[in-house]
Amino acid sequence: MVERKIRVLVAKPGLDGHDRGAKIVARALRDAGMEVIYTGLHQTAEMIVEAAIQEDVDVVGLSLLSGAHMTLFVDVAKLLKKNGLDEVLIIGGGIIPVEDVPKLQKEGIAAVFGPGTPTEKIVEYIIKNVKR
């Protein structure tokens, strides 16, 4: 009986202290049958990638409200790639201006979900796009 479960790392990079959104998403993914590893606040890109390796996750979800997404999201994406985790699906959320979204996608953040996104949409996206 092989039983696969989608494993998702939910992380808050950088210095912002608002994790309500991340927690709501984490809970929604849990309720959708996924295993969610929550790492808490104030993570560096290195810490997030190390956790992604050890936890062997399929998805990394990043949440940021401070405005530093162009640096921090991109750092995580680059570091994941550098460590050979090309298969990991990276998604982002938080306060991200629309004009930044295409730039982030170019850097490997597959999708960005802003405030007000129904959690079902995120679940659906992950199930459809998870790579293994």
**Cβ atoms within 10 Å of 103's Cβ, excluding its own:** 14
At 121, list the tokens: 């949409």
- H-helix or E-strand containing 36? strand 35-38
Residue 50 Cβ, how far from other proteins at the closest point, in Å?
5
Angstrom distance (rounded) from CA 109 to CA 62:
9
Q: Using the rule CB under 8 A, which residue among 18, 50, 81, 125 binds other proteins?
A: 50
Query: Among residues 51, 79, 95, 110, which is the contact residue for other proteins, using CB under 8 A?
Result: 51
Q: Using the rule CB under 8 A, which residue among 15, 24, 56, 120 binds other proteins?
A: 56
The values of phi and psi at residue 59, to 5°, are: -135, 140
CA dist., res. 123 & res. 104, Å (int): 20
Joined tokens for residue 16: 């912002």
* 1 lies in the site for other proteins, by CB under 8 A: yes
Bridge partner residues of 33 (DSSP) = none
Question: Does residue 79 belong to the site contacting other proteins (CB under 8 A)?
Answer: no
What minimum distance in Å lies between the beta carbon of 117 and other proteins?
19
Nearest CA among 55, 53, 125, 52 for reference residue 91: 125
Candidate segments 30-38, 66-74, 93-101, 105-113, binder of other proteins by CB under 8 A: 30-38
Among 14, 22, 25, 34, binds other proteins (CB under 8 A): 34
Residue among 27 and 103 whose Cβ is closer to other proteins: 27
Binding footprint of other proteins on the chain (CB under 8 A): 1-5, 7, 26-27, 29-40, 43, 46-47, 50-51, 53-56, 83-84
